[in-house]
């Protein structure tokens, strides 16, 4: 029997709510997001935690195509930014959820819709590739637009219309709604049936690295309601997945659980060093709170086959995070007691990622970073593989079909 203190479920939820991964998912002290990204890209290619609503994947191309045909001057990036602000204002006026930049409007968003969705436009086959098959960056597209406009200006007929229409930057898109041209008309995230079919067609072509249909493609084709599925390994998704993905989902579930434990262990290590080595006033949240995560997630994590996980990651993972996985799993199986037993391997992994910004080393910099640390500075909880965001995208599509 493992000798961990079992706290109440309410205590678990309080602890987890303090350290849940922030919505952007960018903080990753030890390296668990390497695993997160590999599985997320396998199951849901092209997706991102920056995605909010599906119709942005049409709003962005529509904006670029409008800029191509406008006769106004100025830098392309500036003109796109003005259009994004216009779009944000329209969506806020419609009281829509998931408006990018809505909180800072009328100032521009730091992470614009075009930036957030550009990779998806390429992965989903909406952005046309370059002749060599690679996908153009936004900067390259801005240069292309300037080139197109220069050519169009030189080749006009007597009615000042282009003699030859240049190839679009994007595949053939659904036409924008009338509201796109009429500011007094409500513009929202509701897809038309034509737009929903457009996304279903493009998603249905998505492949895994082995050439088989991605889980995302199977979900698009199957069309079942997944709005109540709480995780990527929920029964609704397992039913749609092929045998290879069902096995991978099981491994991803176990990796997710072990990562939740590992994140809590890291927080407990920082808290312990801050209190015992640095003699700083420190709350006693994670020195006991890690046990809550262990009790919650160990049933899923205990049978993890790390060698099989490594096979899922064809590019490999850096030795420090592989060691963290192996040592954490072994330590837990032995009934892990003190989180400091794992300090060396966690410290090595953190330093390999963050260098002088790492918190765990017994250095002046480490002490300074620990002095700045607060309990909610470290994301905790299981890996989600972007499922909450993917679910929103799929739900937006299905509502229109």
Per residue in 12-33, pLDDT (tens digit) is: 444 444 434 333 444 688 999 8
pTM of the model: 0.88
Contact status, residue 369 vs residue 289, Cβ threshold 8 Å: no
Report the number of distinct structural domains present in the chain.
2
- Which pLDDT tens digit goes with each residue over 238-254? 999 999 999 999 999 99
β-bridge mates for residue 231, sequence order = none
Which domain, by its residues, includes 162?
55-176
The pLDDT value given to residue 317: 76
Take residue 269 and report the two structure tokens written for it. 């290590």
Distances (CA, A) of 42 to 64, 98, 148, 166, 207: 29, 25, 36, 35, 9
Residues 196-221, mean pLDDT to the nearest whole number: 97
Neighbours of 168 (CB within 10 A): 14
Do residues 64 and 98 both lie within one domain? Answer: yes
Q: Is residue 95 part of a domain?
A: yes
Residues 327 and 196 in one domain: yes
Q: Is residue 184 part of a domain?
A: no
Same domain for 246 and 374, yes or no, is yes
Pick 50 or 16 by higher pLDDT.
50
* Joined tokens for residue 179: 């509201």
- Kindly tell me the burial class for residue 235, based on how many C-beta atoms sit within 10 Å of its own C-beta (0-12, 13-18, 19 or more): exposed
| Residue 182 in domain | no
Same domain, 74 and 42: no
Residues 19 and 89 in one domain: no
- In the beta sheet, which residues pair with residue 20? 380
């Amino acid at each position: 029997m493992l000798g961990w203190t079992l706290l109440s479920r309410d205590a678990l939820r309080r602890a987890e709510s303090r350290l849940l991964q922030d919505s952007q998912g960018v903080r990753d002290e030890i390296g668990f997001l390497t695993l997160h990204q590999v599985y997320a890209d396998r199951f849901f290619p092209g997706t991102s935690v920056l995605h909010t609503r599906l119709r942005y994947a049409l709003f962005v191309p529509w904006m670029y195509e409008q800029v191509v045909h406008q006769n106004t001057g100025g830098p392309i990036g500036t003109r796109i930014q003005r259009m994004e602000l216009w779009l944000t204002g329209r969506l806020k006026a419609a009281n829509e959820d998931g408006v990018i930049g809505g909180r800072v409007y009328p100032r521009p968003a730091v992470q614009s819709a075009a930036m957030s969705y550009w990779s998806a436009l390429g992965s989903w086959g909406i952005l046309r590739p370059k002749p060599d098959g690679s996908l153009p960056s936004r900067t390259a597209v801005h240069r292309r637009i300037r080139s197109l406009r220069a050519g169009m200006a030189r080749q006009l007929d007597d009615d000042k219309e282009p003699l030859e229409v240049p190839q679009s930057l994007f595949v053939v898109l659904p036409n924008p709604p009338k509201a796109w041209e009429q500011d007094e008309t409500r513009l929202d995230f509701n897809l038309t049936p034509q737009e929903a079919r457009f996304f279903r067609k493009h998603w249905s072509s998505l492949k895994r690295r082995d050439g088989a249909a991605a889980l995302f493609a199977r979900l698009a084709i199957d069309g079942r309601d997944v709005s109540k599925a709480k995780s990527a390994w929920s029964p609704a998704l397992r039913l749609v997945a092929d045998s290879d993905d069902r096995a991978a989902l099981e491994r991803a579930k176990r990796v997710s659980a072990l990562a939740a434990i590992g994140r809590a262990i890291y927080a407990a290590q920082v808290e312990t060093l801050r209190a015992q080595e640095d003699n700083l006033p420190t709350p006693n949240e994670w020195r006991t709170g890690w046990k809550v995560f262990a009790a919650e997630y160990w049933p899923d994590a205990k049978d993890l086959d790390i060698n099989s996980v490594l096979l899922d990651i064809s590019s490999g993972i850096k030795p420090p995070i592989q060691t963290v996985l192996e040592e954490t799993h072994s330590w837990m199986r032995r009934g892990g007691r003190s989180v400091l037993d794992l300090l060396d391997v966690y410290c090595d992994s953190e330093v390999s990622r963050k260098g002088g910004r790492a918190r765990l080393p017994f250095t002046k910099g480490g002490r300074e970073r620990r002095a700045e640390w607060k309990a909610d500075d470290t994301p905790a909880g299981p890996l989600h593989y972007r499922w909450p965001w993917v679910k929103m995208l799929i739900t937006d599509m299905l509502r229109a079909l």
